[in-house]
Structure 1
Amino acid sequence: MKRIITLLILLVSVATFSQKTFQGKAVYMSKTTIDMSAFGNEMSEQRKKQIKDRMKNFLEKTFILNFTQSESTYKEDAKLEAPGSRGGFGRFGGFSAGVTYKNTRQGEMIESTEFFGKKFLIKEKIEQPQWELGSETKQIGKYTCYKATMTKVNNDFDWTVFRRRGRNNQKKDSTNTDKKDKVKTTFVTAWYTPQIPVSNGPDDFGGLPGLILEINAGRTTMLCTEIVINPTEKEAIKAPTKGKEVTREEYNKTIKEKTEEMRERFRGRGGRGRGGRGRGN
């Protein structure tokens, strides 16, 4: 009897989500923790706490996914910061995230972002993720979710390359150049619900037979806290068009060159002890 009820729910869901006018909205809370040991043993616990507090606005955010059967936009739910507060990367605060657009039918993803006043459009093909589907379930809100796992290649820029580049580590960096080219992977656990049969999820995640409501990837957790099906006010879902078109590799190269240039400027201003510290996530 339970299986029959579940099947009826799925059939109703499929009928609802196959409508041409269908649109949904999902709100996600994203939280990332920092491995403070990467900053070295020379840094005091008080200083580490100050860094964590200053980066809280950057590491804990709310995002909104607006989606149809084949298209979606994912962007931060921006809130006004308190007067005098400093979020983001602190002195590397020239970074500003925009919108991540996905078209699963065409297999295309476009990420708009801004770095030190220059806008970029990072265009990529959506590759089919190699998910391993499990039978384990758990309840998230009113939705029954199933577990899926995979190991994902991490192509994002690695900010940790700027953490330990003081005078005491210059020699170590020069002798460990092979590590810079090492492919980095992240183990990902997803919880998706077939009750919302949309192959999508937060950020660049998707490719499952249902909307992803929770992601655990490395030190980052993204949890869906609200879902609205066919909201009264529907937001237009369009691909971003403003910015210079680049590949992920070209964008990462630009960030690296600009950040190294900034660090050299700080050193040139006499910022001894400060110029060698970068921000990580």
Structure 2
Amino acid sequence: MKRIQLFILVITIAIAANAQQKEGTITYQRTINNWKRITDETRRASIPEFQVSKYTLYFTDSISIYKLIPDENAPEPFANGEGGGGFRRFNFGGGDGDLFKNFTTGFTTQASELGGKNFLITDTIRKQSWKISAETKEILGVVCRKATLKITQPNFQGRAFNFNRNRPAGDTTTRQAPPAPREIEIVAWFAQTILAPAGPDAYGQLPGVILELNVDNGTTVYKALTLKPTVDAKELKEPKKGKKVTRQEYGQLQRELFQNQGGFGGAGGNRGGGL
């Protein structure tokens, strides 16, 4: 009898192991609500309320790469140049280049173009202190569990940046202090049977791949549109084109270009949720 019970246990474990997926390919839709932090109606009239783009995540339980799906027909969200709400668009980089993660080494590489030059931004995978709840829901036929994360980020409140580059000499006018940083909540739904710590953009480090993610109550939302249980190994390659720089070095290059261009108002290369 004990042998039969042991045999059944082994078979059960084997079936469960086979049901667990450790690689795949996911297509996401990312929706940014541009009006979330802009209350001025004049400025709202100059930009679309929503900005939609699509990405593909190729992953295993040890590496992943996240790529923008080009859409030549997508409208330019800040195409009015300096018109309307005072928005100007420059290429300050760091936004939609391929993002490669190595979960074994704990390092990332992101391809980016800045000022007409190619860069490879190297960084560590920063720890994310998720709180996992018992709440579940089904996404694309997969049972997912809920996890939440709170982070502190700068509070731009939809205001235009202004470095006062052409401020007259001797002008002692008091500059307005930037708003205090604000805490936001991120809600993720991760697949319990897809055992990879991957997810869209900079998000992940959960015991299952993220299929849906909501940043700051709808400011940025990622939703999985398709899920395949296989991945093309040829896609799982670390970007190699460009000069390697650290995140800090790249930030300094951005600031220098920003100042040389005289500042900009609200357009940028942030994908809507970097940590």
TM > 0.5 fold call: yes
Relative to structure 1, the CA distance from residue 252 to residue 52 in structure 2 (aligned partners, 3 Å threshold; closer, same or farther) is farther
Relative to structure 1, the CA distance from residue 25 to residue 37 in structure 2 (aligned partners, 3 Å threshold; closer, same or farther) is closer
**Structure 2 spans left out of the alignment, 5+ residues:** 1-8, 82-87
**Structure 1 spans left out of the alignment, 5+ residues:** 18-22, 265-275
Which of residues 19, 24, 32 is equivalent to 1:13?
Answer: 19
| Matched letter for residue 76 of structure 2 | R
Cα distance in 2, alignment partners of residues 9 and 30 from structure 1:
35
Q: Secondary structure at the match of 1:162?
A: coil
Q: Secondary structure at the match of 1:50?
A: coil
Match of 2:188 in 1: 190
For residues 75-100 of structure 1, the C-alpha deviation after alignment (integer angstroms, 9 at most, x for no partner) is 10112237xx5356755242462100
Which of residues 89, 93, 96 is equivalent to 1:92?
Answer: 89
Match of 1:176 in 2: 177
Q: Secondary structure at the match of 1:97?
A: coil
Relative to structure 1, the CA distance from residue 251 to residue 215 in structure 2 (aligned partners, 3 Å threshold; closer, same or farther) is same
Match of 1:251 in 2: 250
| Matched letter for residue 19 of structure 2 | S
Which of residues 49, 60, 64 is equivalent to 1:68?
Answer: 60
Q: Answer yes or no: is 1:217 the counterpart of 2:212.
A: no
Cα distance in 2, alignment partners of residues 36 and 135 from structure 1:
30
Contact residue 112 and residue 122 of structure 1 kept, 8 A: yes
For residues 199-239 of structure 1, the C-alpha deviation after alignment (integer angstroms, 9 at most, x for no partner) is 111111111111110111121100111011125x5543111
- TM (norm. structure 2) is 0.74
Relative to structure 1, the CA distance from residue 176 to residue 7 in structure 2 (aligned partners, 3 Å threshold; closer, same or farther) is farther
Q: CA deviation at 1:183?
A: 5.2
Fraction of identical pairs, as percent:
26
Q: Answer yes or no: is 1:81 the counterpart of 2:73.
A: yes
Q: CA deviation at 1:158?
A: 6.8
Relative to structure 1, the CA distance from residue 114 to residue 88 in structure 2 (aligned partners, 3 Å threshold; closer, same or farther) is farther
Match of 2:108 in 1: 109
Match of 1:208 in 2: 206
Q: Secondary structure at the match of 1:202?
A: coil
Q: Answer yes or no: is 1:50 the counterpart of 2:46.
A: yes
- TM (norm. structure 1) is 0.72
Structure (1 or 2) with the greater helix fraction:
1
